[in-house]
Amino acid sequence: MGVWGGPRDPDVAGGVQAIDGLPGGVLAVNLFGDRDAWAGEPGMTFLTREAARMLCAGLEISFWHEEDAEGPAYSGPKHWHVYDIVALSPAPDGVGLY
């Protein structure tokens, strides 16, 4: 899943803020990196590593994987640069999903 709508799309930051405000909430996302072959396509958002980490500020990152490699796509081979992230919103002891 990529982030659609541009870097100021409220779905990008708003989704993270919603999880941050939900004690024990879980954020699981796949974001395009700035070195992806599609970088620069209109209507899509591509983030640097620092920008992706900043989106998770205030959350506990429990999983982070960055892929920056050639691979298959529906349209044929392409360069993929994606971040797979799972982050948790801090919760008081005994509250939340985990």
For residues 13 and 72, which has the higher predicted lDDT (pLDDT)? Answer: 72
Domain encompassing residue 40: 3-88
Domain membership of residue 70 (yes or no) is yes
The answer, yes or no, to whether residue 25 has pLDDT greater than 90, is no
* Tally of domains in the chain: 1
How far is the C-alpha of 7 from the C-alpha of 89, rounded, in Å?
22
What is the pLDDT averaged over residues 37-49?
93
**The token pair that represents 48 in the structure block:** 């640097």
Domain membership of residue 93 (yes or no) is no
- Entry pTM: 0.76
Domain membership of residue 8 (yes or no) is yes
Domain membership of residue 96 (yes or no) is no
In Å, how far are 17, 23, 45, 51, 65 from 34, measured between CA atoms?
22, 31, 8, 10, 15
**Which CATH number covers residue 67?**
3.40.50.150
Domain membership of residue 98 (yes or no) is no
